[in-house]
Amino acid sequence: MTTLVKPSQLPAWVNIESLLPYIGTILLIVGASFTFPQVLSIDYLSQQLQIAAFLGILAAGATLVILLGHIDLSVPWTLNGAAIVATAMAGSGNEILIACAIPAALLFGAVVGAINGLGVTILRIPSMVWTLAMNSILLGISVLNTGGFNPKGESSATMSWLASGTVASIPVAFLVWMTISTALALLMMRTGYGRYLRSIGFNERAVYLSGVSTKTVVTGAFMIAGVCSAFAGVMLAGYANQAYQSMGDPFLLPTIAAVVIGGTSILGGRGGLFGSIGGALFITILNSILSVMQISDAWRSIVFGVIILAMLLFQTLRKRG
Amino acid sequence: MRDFVTAYRRELIAAAVLAALLVFYLITHPRGASTYVLTIWANQCAILGLVAIAQFFAVVVRGIDLSVGAIMALTNVVGSHLLSGTGIDLAFGVIVVVATGAACGLLNGLLVVYGRIQPIVVTLSSASIFVGLALILRPTPGGRVNYDIADAMTLDLFGIPTALVLIAIIIFAFWLPFRRTGLGLGIYAVGSSQQAAFQSGMPVATIRLAAFTLAGVFAGLAGLFYTFVTTTGDAGIAPNFTLNSIAAVVLGGVLLRGGTGTLIGALIGAFILKTIASLMFFSGIPSLAQPLFEGLILAVAIAVGAADVLRSKHRLEVFGR
Amino acid sequence: MTEPNLPIASIKGVTKSFGATIALQDVDFDCYPGEVHAVLGENGAGKSTLMKTISGVLAPTSGTVFAQGKPVTFKGPADAMAVGFVCMYQELSLVPDLTVRENLLLGAPGSGLGRLKGGALPKARELLDQIDGEHIRFGSKVSDLTLAECQQVEVVKALIRNPKLLILDESTSALNSSVVDKVFDLVRAQRDLGVAILFISHRFHEIEALADRISVFRNGQRVETFRNGDQDYSTIINMMVGQRIDELFPPKVIPKAGAEPVLELRDFAWPPKVKPTSFTIKEGQIIGLGGLDGQGQSTLLQGIFGLLKGTQGTILINGSDAPKSGPLAAKQSDVGLAYIPEDRKADGLIQAQSINENLELAALGRSDLNATDHNIYKPSLDRLELKHGGLDLPVSSLSGGNQQKVVLAKWLALAPKVLLLADPTRGIDVKTKTQIYALLRELAEQGTAILLLSTDYEELIHLCDETHIFYDGGIVRSLRGEDLSAQNIIGASLNIPDVADHKGIADA
């Protein structure tokens, strides 16, 4: 952000749609700073980057699924389940289990994603319904497993470090988020897989007819999204030093909103990870500033809805005009 | 007859399942098949049934309404303020409650049709606004309702639960005549093939707008009935009802791709879901396992409904258009 | 009522463009009561755009539509129907999830969004019975009907709206000859009642049987209008094509002695839609597939490419069994199949993506090719002279002909052994056609087996070495040499045993 790039050198993924949430974020911070100068402090901003990372990692995975024209509504309980798995293993006292806590949680996410993907590709069940059912099942398993109480266990040192640590006073969570987003962005832009994924979002039939195993591509994307959800769960558990029931529920709508206001079309094909990063930043800052302003939950909810709709209307009406 | 069976195959299967479940429920219920038991059952079913009808209208025009629960919460809260009087006041209250629902639905419709934003994103955002409004009107559950009307609506008429009578009125006085109007046919035409509907001279925009408004009206009716059943207003009921409404329409044979299914199917789906939930209460399944069972039943029902795909012999067919 | 000398519908100076493509250019056209005005032209000549402009589906970019002499602006088909312009569309206007009865009621005059009026249903039943549709029940879902049955319902749906102007847009393409005759009887009866009829077909014999006046369109322009019978067949064809037929096609090549078979079908079947079918394509050959729409020929093509499950029989490519598991296996170098789909816009290309991205999509899954190396596409793109404003632009910015060039180049980069083409020149300008024909002949000479499904008789006659005509799921006649004539193709398509006895066939 320090060097300004001439417009002609801008890569294709930087466009008005994907820049909109960044512009919004800056406007929010600048606007709020007149009344609340503390929002310009390094501490505040670095804390926001840390908090935005949870949403950002979820949004990164969701971006792939939404680019396909699908949606993953199992985010909340994939996150929650992974958090429960990780904290249960980390709190077991057994060193091997503790060391395996994070890989096991990520594996859990991959398995959930695979089941999501197989239902969508083989049975052709609309992803909205199938992932919804998956979410209910995961909730059910968790309730049965924990007896409805908060699960036992605690986070490991690694988990806490991932969520709350800093490297050179930059939050580790933010670095993790950027690493995941960059890796996925490279996957999307530099590999055949990424090309397939984007193309399927526009027209799955034509991609299939070009000799592509679209089932593999779609299932893979759901698996990546599952792993992202699980990673966010691990970090959130690290942040709170525990897993708790329904810890993922507040993240579903902001995740989808972050992707969509970042310029990714819910119909698939158009958009990318750069916009989703901005979307996650915008939503986190918006929430934070509304709470700094001591606005009630009710009004926050209304402002939240109105602003998202306004940004989407801006996008679609601009295209038409 | 043959046409009827082929056309309504999904509804007939769902109805048979419901009948079996209901018989089983009444047998296992410790108090047997009494009016009291049926009334409680019917009230629960009718609430979800009305939300499912709302969802049906959005889905049939190839949309989705993730704000039905929120509209229901808002109208429920409005009702808890306006339904305590008698006579004219009460009638006014009822009208305002339903009109609130209609206005919410109309707003969704306008954003979808003229704002050109995808239904899923519109309703996700508008849900946030509706819930916020509901929270402002009633931050904590409470309120007062005229007990005479609440009783009249939620007890029984000559031994038949009033809820069932109301449902019958909706089917016979609204749905069946509605199905014979241009609008009733138009919603299917638009959902099945917008191009064919347009070329046949149907006003496509008006029809979609009407469908979303009808979704709002029925979500409002659900909120109204919920107010009568609980006699309080609660802004926090939204998420559960939204998710269950989607599950209900899918169970009732309404395809999310639009253009098929019936209001009666949506009702049957809702009744099945509620009956299963009630059954599990008495079935001896540990209460902790119930959410898991609900999720599994939903997933299995969807998967069975989708199994047709596996029989398709043309590899391109599954992609649709 | 209507003054006799006033056209029911006319357009003046109408131009319609879609992005880069100009579909209609400054067209004047009219249609009088009591006459059948036929519109002839190749695919893509602008016929369907003309019909859609008159029936309110498309708004003209410039120019005016007149109804009984008064200028009108249609916001949609509903407005056109209100002045009595009713169209039977090429892409059917039936809603698949509704029953026949409901489709007939949909948008019926006078009902709007209110209560439906079923008054026209008895008449609809009567009309349907008159055109051999007794077996079509009102309670059947449209998605369960065959293409031919849909077209019968579509005819009736248009007629019960009491049109003043009836537009028939390729609306009999899947009907067999006896049904077509009955439909024509109904149309003539309408004409005699003073209805104006606008009739589009690319089947010359149908036009000759029905039309009073004929207008020929080419490249979005009206070339000429004349009374039926005033011009002979070859003049009309030349008007349509814009040049002499024999200049369009490359000369046929006498096959080398001892040419090896490349593609061999042995009792290949997909019951019930495709009956056991056997034929061979040898090195150097272009083999055609013809017939009415929906007789199994396009399904056969898809079956060879592995798009069907549960096929029977054998496909041999260079003597070894071809897998039938789908496009991914079919495109590998050891199999070497390529398929150019019928619906180029939806199935062949991803419109929103760039030309480059579209080119790479097929080669990406081949380990022996480097898809990002653009030298593999260059030869075919140069050979076909792709006109573009930059390979990074979306493929939707290209005209139909250039889009088809991209589809071809995308697949030719894989050096296929067998090239399957489903109506590849539909809606394409003549120059591009010539280029594609020359390319196909060249490929054949280099040893690629070419299987060409076409709805254009001229292609089947002048480009193909042998043409198999399909009827009801199987080959009814294989034509080659002298037998490969328009007359024989039409006769075989309609499954008429002796062509000469049948009236209404063009003595071309």
What are the residue boundaries of the structural domains of chain B, listed by start? 2-284, 289-321
CB C391 within 8 A of CB C352: no
Alpha carbon of C75: minimum distance to chain A alpha carbons (Å): 18
CB contact under 8 A, B133 and A302: yes
The mean pLDDT value for B209-224 works out to 97
Three-state helix/strand/coil letters over C231-244? CCHHHHHHHHHCCC
Specify the pLDDT at position B67: 95
Cα–Cα dist C312/C393, whole Å: 43
**Confidence at A199, pLDDT banded by 50, 70, 90:** very high
CB A218 within 8 A of CB A117: yes
Low-confidence ranges of chain C (pLDDT < 70): 1-4, 20, 43, 109-111, 202, 497-508
- Both C104 and C154 in one domain: the answer is yes
Alpha carbon of B173: minimum distance to chain C alpha carbons (Å): 14
Beta strands in C134-270 (DSSP E): 165-169, 196-200, 213-218, 221-227, 261-270
Amino acid at B145: V
Specify the pLDDT at position A213: 94
Q: Closest Cα partner for C316 from C329, C303, C300, C304?
A: C304
Q: What are phi and psi of C71, to 5 degrees?
A: -65, 140
Closest A-chain CA to C345 = A206
- Average pLDDT over chain B reads 89
Q: What is the CATH number of the domain that holds C191?
A: 3.40.50.300
Q: What is the pTM of this model?
A: 0.89
Q: Closest Cα partner for C279 from C292, C295, C263, C260?
A: C263
Cα–Cα dist C239/C241, whole Å: 6
For chain A, helix (H) and strand (E) counts, in that order, are 13, 2
Alpha carbon of B168: minimum distance to chain C alpha carbons (Å): 21
Domain at A7-320: CATH code: 1.10.3470
Q: Which residues does chain C have within 8 Å of residue A209's beta carbon, measured at their own beta carbons? A: 327, 339, 341, 347-348
Residue among C333, C364, C368, C370 with most chain A CBs within 10 A, to mutate: C364
A6 close contact with B: CB closer than 8 A? no
The mean pLDDT value for B207-230 works out to 96
Q: What are phi and psi of C400, to 5 degrees?
A: -55, -45
Where a domain ends, among C242, C277, C292? C242
CB C467 within 8 A of CB C477: no
Q: Closest Cα partner for C494 from C291, C277, C269?
A: C291
Residues 89-118 of B with CB under 8 A from A: 111, 115-118
Instruction: Please compute Rg for chain A using Cα positions.
Output: 20
CB contact under 8 A, C350 and A212: no
In a domain, C341, yes or no: no
**Confidence at A221, pLDDT banded by 50, 70, 90:** very high
CB contact under 8 A, C97 and B259: yes
CB B270 within 8 A of CB B178: no
Question: In terms of residues, how long is chain C?
Answer: 508
Specify the pLDDT at position A10: 61
Cis peptide before B177 (omega within 30 of 0): no
Which tokens belong to C415? 């050096």
In a domain, C1, yes or no: no
Q: Give chain C's domain count.
A: 3
CB contact under 8 A, B128 and A305: yes
Count of A-C CB contacts under 8 Å:
59
CB contact under 8 A, B199 and C139: no
Cα–Cα dist B247/B254, whole Å: 10
Residue among A71, A77, A125, A200 with most chain B CBs within 10 A, to mutate: A125
Which tokens belong to C435? 């280029």
The mean pLDDT value for B3-29 works out to 84
CB contact under 8 A, B288 and A302: no
Q: What is the DSSP string of C308-359?
A: BSS-EEEEEETTEEPP-S-HHHHTSTTT-EEEE-S-IIIII--TTSBHHHHH
Chains that touch B (3 or more CB pairs under 8 A): A, C
- Both C17 and C118 in one domain: the answer is yes
Q: Measuring CA to CA, how many Å separate A174 from each of A235, A247, B200?
A: 11, 20, 55
CB B45 within 8 A of CB B272: no
Q: What is the DSSP string of B158-207?
A: TTEEHHHHHHHHIIIIIIHHHHTBHHHHHHHHHHH-HHHHHHTT--HHHH
Residues near C474 by Cβ (< 8 Å), separated by ≥ 6?
C274, C275, C276, C277, C296
Specify the pLDDT at position C110: 66
CB contact under 8 A, B121 and A266: yes
CB contact under 8 A, A195 and C351: no
Residue range A88-116, pLDDT digits in tens: 999 888 889 999 999 999 999 999 999 99
- Domain boundaries of chain A, sorted by first residue: 7-320
Closest A-chain CA to B107 = A309
Place of tokens 């000559």: B158
Chains that touch C (3 or more CB pairs under 8 A): A, B
Q: Which residues does chain A have within 8 Å of residue C360's beta carbon, measured at their own beta carbons? A: 195
Q: What is the DSSP string of B87-135?
A: HHHHHHHHHHHHHHHHHHHHHHHHHHHTS---HHHHHHHHHHHHHHHHH
Cα–Cα dist C436/A251, whole Å: 55
Q: Identify which of C346, C352, C361 has the shortest CB distance to residue A210.
A: C361
- Both C53 and C177 in one domain: the answer is yes
Alpha carbon of C150: minimum distance to chain A alpha carbons (Å): 25
Specify the pLDDT at position C437: 94
CB contact under 8 A, B259 and C95: yes
Closest A-chain CA to B307 = A123
Q: Which residues does chain A have within 8 Å of residue C361's beta carbon, measured at their own beta carbons? A: 195, 199, 206-207, 210, 212
Q: Measuring CA to CA, how many Å separate B74 from each of B69, B70, B128, B138?
A: 9, 6, 11, 9
| Helix extents (H) in B8-118 | 9-28, 35-60, 68-82, 87-113
Chains that touch A (3 or more CB pairs under 8 A): B, C
- Both C379 and C355 in one domain: the answer is yes
Cα–Cα dist C101/B3, whole Å: 12
Which residue has better confidence, B147 or A284? A284
pLDDT winner (highest mean) among A224-238, B76-90, C224-238:
A224-238
For residues C310-331, b (16+ Cβ closer than 10 Å) or e, as one string?
A: ebeeebebbeeebebebbbbbb
Closest B-chain CA to C138 = B3
- Both C171 and C258 in one domain: the answer is no
Residue range A34-93, pLDDT digits in tens: 988 888 899 999 999 999 999 999 999 999 999 999 999 999 999 999 999 999 999 888
ipTM over 0.90: no
The mean pLDDT value for A181-198 works out to 94
- Residue A297 pLDDT exceeds 60: yes
CB B44 within 8 A of CB B219: no
Specify the pLDDT at position B87: 84
Cα–Cα dist C371/B144, whole Å: 70
- Residue A290 pLDDT exceeds 80: yes
Looking at residue C470, what DSSP letter applies?
E
Amino acid at C504: G
Where a domain ends, among C193, C208, C242? C242
Where a domain ends, among C227, C242, C257? C242
Name the class of domain B2-284: mainly alpha
- Both C112 and C22 in one domain: the answer is yes
In a domain, C129, yes or no: yes
Looking at residue C500, what DSSP letter applies?
G
Residue range B144-153, pLDDT digits in tens: 888 888 888 8
C377 close contact with A: CB closer than 8 A? no
Q: What percent of chain A has pLDDT over 70?
A: 95
Residue among A136, A149, A246 with most chain B CBs within 10 A, to mutate: A136
Closest A-chain CA to B126 = A305
Specify the pLDDT at position A4: 39
Q: Closest Cα partner for A273 from A200, A190, A166, A172?
A: A190
Q: C170: domain range?
A: 9-242
CB contact under 8 A, C114 and B182: yes
Specify the pLDDT at position C4: 57
- Both C21 and C151 in one domain: the answer is yes
B265 close contact with C: CB closer than 8 A? no
- Both C100 and C164 in one domain: the answer is yes
Three-state helix/strand/coil letters over A138-174? HHHHHHHHHCCCCCCCCCCHHHHHHHHCEECCEEHHH
Cα–Cα dist A63/C22, whole Å: 38
Alpha carbon of C487: minimum distance to chain B alpha carbons (Å): 34
Tell me which H or E stretch contains B252. none
- Both C268 and C371 in one domain: the answer is no
Q: Could you tell me the end-to-end alpha-carbon distance of chain C, in angstroms, rounded to an integer?
A: 41
- Residue A318 pLDDT exceeds 90: no
CB contact under 8 A, C410 and A205: no
Specify the pLDDT at position C248: 82
Cα–Cα dist A216/A68, whole Å: 12
